[in-house]
Amino acid sequence: MRSCFQQANKPSRMERIRQDYNLNGQRQRGVTLLVSLILLVAITVVGINMFSSTTLEERLARNYNDYNVAFHAAEAAIRDAEIRISGQWELANNAAAPPSPLAISLFNDVCDNGLCTSEATSSTAQIWEDASYKLISNGTGKASALGTCDECTGGTTGSPAMADVYWQPRYLIEYMGASTTPGISLSDPGNLAVHLFRITAAGFGQYEVNSQPSSVVVLQSVYAHRGNS
pLDDT averaged over 10-residue windows placed end to end, the chain, 229 residues: 51 55 54 77 80 73 90 93 85 69 88 84 71 76 74 61 88 85 53 83 90 91 84
Is residue 79 domain-shared with residue 146, that is, in the same domain?
A: yes
Is residue 51 domain-shared with residue 76, that is, in the same domain?
A: no
- Supply the pLDDT for residue 10: 59
| Domain end point (choices 57, 80, 95) | 57
Q: How many residues are present in the chain?
A: 229
Is residue 51 domain-shared with residue 82, that is, in the same domain?
A: no
- Domain tally, the chain: 2
Is residue 94 domain-shared with residue 37, that is, in the same domain?
A: no
Is residue 142 domain-shared with residue 200, that is, in the same domain?
A: yes
- Supply the pLDDT for residue 55: 72
Is residue 94 domain-shared with residue 172, that is, in the same domain?
A: yes
Q: In whole angstroms, what is the distance from residue 99 CA to residue 80 CA?
A: 15
Is residue 163 domain-shared with residue 104, that is, in the same domain?
A: yes
Which residue range forms the structural domain that includes residue 186?
71-226
Element (H, E) at 49: helix 13-86
Assigned domain for 66 exists: no
Instruction: Indicate the pTM of the whole model.
Output: 0.69
Q: Which of 72, 217, 74, 200 is nearest to 130 (CA)?
A: 200
CB environment 40-52: b (16+ within 10 A), e (fewer): eeeeeeeeeeeee
Assigned domain for 183 exists: yes
Q: In whole angstroms, what is the distance from residue 87 CA to residue 81 CA?
A: 10
Is residue 145 domain-shared with residue 117, that is, in the same domain?
A: yes
- Supply the pLDDT for residue 148: 65
Say whether 183 sits in a helix, a strand or coil: coil
